[in-house]
Amino acid sequence: MKSALNHWFVNMSPSQETGIRLFCIPNSGGGPALFRTWSGRLPANIGVFAAQLPGQGSRLREEPPVKVDALVAQLCEAVEPYVDEPFALFGYSMGALLAFELARSLRRQGLPQPAHLFVGAWRAPQTPPLMSPIYQLPDELFIQAIQRRYGGIPAAILEDQELMAVFTPVLRANFTMIETYQYSDDTRFDFPLTAFGGTSDPAADESRLRAWGEQTRGRFECHIYDGGHFFIQKHEQAVLEVISRGLASC
């Protein structure tokens, strides 16, 4: 397989030839770096393909979408040629919502379904948000709200006005997308679904994480770890062990 699936997904496992493809979608403002160690810590038969979204990383010059439907349509088109083999989806924070809607989009088009959907650091889409929208706040208040709620913006970026001038519009587009998202009822999935969360994550309390179970008729698991929105930084190995078990029979 090529080193990248078109310009949407970076192949983090270039030596992987057979097995299952794990398409990973990062958090707002994130990129493939979130998954940089995964290939070496997952079984050799799991190929890791990390999304590079418009407006981020190597696609910095592209306009970031402000509607979930628009971005999901593009993601669906990007992965369609590569779902001829077994695959799974993992989404973190904003990526969890996108992975969920991507699975729905594939189903609506009669395309193969993932063997498993893994979601982290985001509430079940049918549950109400815990916090008020911030996407319309002035830049300074907007960034302060993100840091207060989630953290995650490195100090080196916060202290660099030029970087923030580039980074802020991308974050605003991402938050516009997720805060204006409208959930609609649909048939439950038939494949397994696993949710991960942090004990003090403002984006998803335990009840909203466990509500992901309402989205599948298949097996459901919910794993909660000590930490906030970026609990995965401390508990990455535990998360990868769960993913390995979940994909062991694929």
Catalytic residues: 93
Which residue's structure tokens are 């904003």? 94
**Count of alpha carbons within 13 Å of 13, Cβ hemisphere only?**
23
Q: What is the DSSP letter of 189?
A: B
**First and final CA of the chain: distance in angstroms?**
19
Report d(CA 149, CA 111) in Å as an integer. Answer: 37
Provide the token pair at 38: 């995964």
What is the helix (H) or strand (E) element at residue 174, kind and residue range? helix 161-179
Question: Do residues 115 and 194 make contact, with C-beta atoms less than 8 angstroms apart?
Answer: no
- Residue from 65, 51, 113, 53 nearest 88 by CA: 113
Q: Which residues contact 52 (CB under 8 A, 6 or more apart)?
A: 7, 8, 9, 10, 31, 32, 58, 59
Residues facing residue 153 across a β-bridge: none
